Amino acid sequence: MTRSEPFPQDEAAVLSLARALRDTGYTFTTVTPTTHAHVNARSRNAEAKSLRDVFGWSRPFRAGLLPEPILRLMRAAGAATEDGPLLRPTIRFSSLDGELFAHSAYPPSAPDAVFFGPDTVRFAGAVIAHLEGRTAPVRRALDLGCGSGAGGICVAKRVPGAEVVLVDINPAAMRAARVNARLAGADGVAVLRSDLLRDVEGLFDLIVSNPPFMIDTAARAYRHGGGPLGAGLSLAVAAQAVERLAPGGSLVLFTGAAIVEGQDPFRDAVADLCARARLDWTYREVDPDEYGEELATEAYDAVERLALVVLTATRPGRPS
């Protein structure tokens, strides 16, 4: 059996499907995979009964459930697979910031799945809050490891005329980000392939990032942070990003921190990094205890809680 694509190849067809779905008034708040599993496991939810069931809850459905134009667009996009007498969606659409965002269907089990969930909403909120409190102009912005593109698209909507670049190493994420940018009317953003900042040039007034921070034995790209207690990628993002901040430029990093005996090793590491780079910085917990189910695994045996945190680091100076 061949592995299904984590995101369809035909971007134009997905965009047409997304626009048609939006025109119906569709909205959906995507929950955590754990909550999703609990809700879908209820016997009455075995089969889809609405558009939200299909495109939000990723439930199998009968072809006659969908309006014929939407089913036709879904088939054209390659966004449905046969599942016995039913069809199963291979794409999801979630609501954020007044827009729809396309991403991988549940469960996001493929190594290169395009993830979107409550952390995406929290990340976008941190980015928007920074922009609302910011006085320095944003002429050039970067969403590093963009995934669905949500963070960068929120920036592009609020700083029209700025150069906004979305980068990811995952081709599926790049496809999703391009679709989502066009769907939001942010056609001017550029989507580039880059391993962190290796293939991106120049300085930025704003860098935003929501890197994976878990220890994932399946090594799924959207989830596995590597390094000590999953912090490896977040530390790499911070280290590279602070070197690319223009005078007055800021990094907004939303990630997770594993707390061990009351101590936060990730905070200690970024404190040292910001001190060496002579940056002004703030660090706050936005949720002190998330992903508690992970603490039952051997990898987190020494960890007492997983916190969600936001690091904001700013290079002193006036923009040129």
The pLDDT of residue 146: 97
pLDDT of residue 220: 67
Q: What is the pLDDT along the chain (320 residues), one digit of tens a residue?
A: 344 678 999 999 999 999 999 999 999 999 999 999 999 999 999 999 999 999 999 999 999 999 999 999 999 999 999 989 999 999 999 999 999 999 999 998 888 999 999 999 999 999 999 999 999 999 999 999 999 999 999 999 999 999 999 999 999 999 999 999 999 999 889 999 999 999 999 999 999 999 988 777 666 666 666 888 888 899 999 999 999 999 999 999 999 999 999 999 999 999 999 999 999 999 999 999 998 888 899 888 999 999 999 999 999 998 77
Beta-strand pair 140-144/163-168: parallel
Q: Of 186, 183, 184, 179, whose CA–CA distance to 165 is shortest?
A: 186
Rg (CA), the chain: 20
Domain 118-314 annotated CATH 3.40.50.410? no
- Residue 1's pLDDT is what? 30
pTM assigned to the model = 0.94
Bridge partners, 95 (sequence order): 100
Which pLDDT score is estimated for 2?
41
The strand pair at 305-314 and 204-209 is best described as unpaired
Q: Is the dihedral of CA 160, 193, 215, 101 positive or negative?
A: positive
What is the model's pLDDT at position 46?
Answer: 96
> What whole-number distance in Å separates Cα of residue 40 and Cα of residue 222?
22
Cα→Cα distances 17→7, 54, 70, 287, Å: 13, 13, 7, 35
- Separation CA 281–CA 67 (nearest Å): 51
The answer to whether the peptide bond before residue 137 is cis (omega within 30 degrees of 0) is no
Instruction: Yes or no: say if 174 and 128 are a contact pair by the CB < 8 Å rule.
Output: no
CA proximity to 303, closest of 212, 209, 211, 213: 213
Q: Where in the chain is the domain with CATH 3.40.50.150?
A: 118-314
Q: Dihedral sign, CA of 143, 141, 234, 133?
A: negative
